[in-house]
Amino acid sequence: MAANFWTSSHSKQLLDPEEVDVVPAQDRERGVTPVEFRLVKIHMSFHIWRLAQQVKVRQRVIATAITYFRCVYTRKSMTEYDPRLVAPACLYLASKVEESTVQARLLVFYIKKMCGSDDKYRFEIKDILEMEMKLLEALDYYLVVYHPYRPLLQLLQDAGITDLTQFAWGLVNDTYKMDLILIYPPYMIALACIYIASVLKDKDTTSWFEELRVDMNIVKNISMEILDFYDTYKIDPQRGLQEDKIIPVMNKLPSKA
């Protein structure tokens, strides 16, 4: 693993905001719009989270899997790489990278349990293993991901507001419903979550932020992206996006089945 974020492959591969929501030509030909492209990523990120709850892996594994998933679609089309299969394959790969390995057969079992009779989600073990190989190539074998969780805890401790840990941690979890991890350094995402938490919980952190000498414009921009997300997408924390929003979009995409 890289010694720190700034010398890591993750740091070198950060993208500009306009690079993460570009709809590939093959998907555009199927009528997928930028808004729908974003909806699929949100929906499948939630699918990864639900599947991860079934197989009981750590939050870090989930975060890494979603990062892989989102990174793949900055390079590949959903037409070419079926999100329904990419999602569990990302979780499988992330579980190995984060040393919390989940057996592929367990993923297959729980996908069938979760998705019932939907043939578009009917995969075999070999499908996940084959997609894992494709993912490795799509990711250029850069698998180390740095997350905001560790800096969040360190920064909350430094600010003397550890009572906001649970609230801020929840905000960090929600950032994986967006592409922030592909755009900003993890500590900046952590700072944005602390900023939101401190404002909403009436904690005065002004002088602490000043002492950090960070670019508050970036912190506030990330904060606004998070708050705008909450305002734009009304997501049920247990069920995800409403079916009438996501099913028509998913039907535009070909499936392996």
Q: Are 110 and 153 in a shared domain?
A: no
Residue 97 lies in a domain: yes
Residue 13 lies in a domain: no
Q: Are 40 and 110 in a shared domain?
A: yes
Phi/psi for 236 (5° steps) reads: -70, 125
Domain of 187? 149-232
Q: Are 55 and 154 in a shared domain?
A: no
pLDDT single digits (tens) 10-60? 988 999 999 998 999 999 999 999 999 999 999 999 999 999 999 999 999
Q: Are 133 and 158 in a shared domain?
A: no
Residue 172 lies in a domain: yes
Are 118 and 75 within 8 A, CB to CB? no
Residue 8 lies in a domain: no
Q: 169, 176, 165: which is closest to 235 by C-alpha? A: 176
pTM over the 0.85 mark: yes
Residue 7 lies in a domain: no
Query: How many separate domains does the chain show?
Result: 2
Residue 110 lies in a domain: yes
pLDDT single digits (tens) 85-134? 999 999 999 999 999 889 999 999 999 998 877 888 889 999 999 999 99
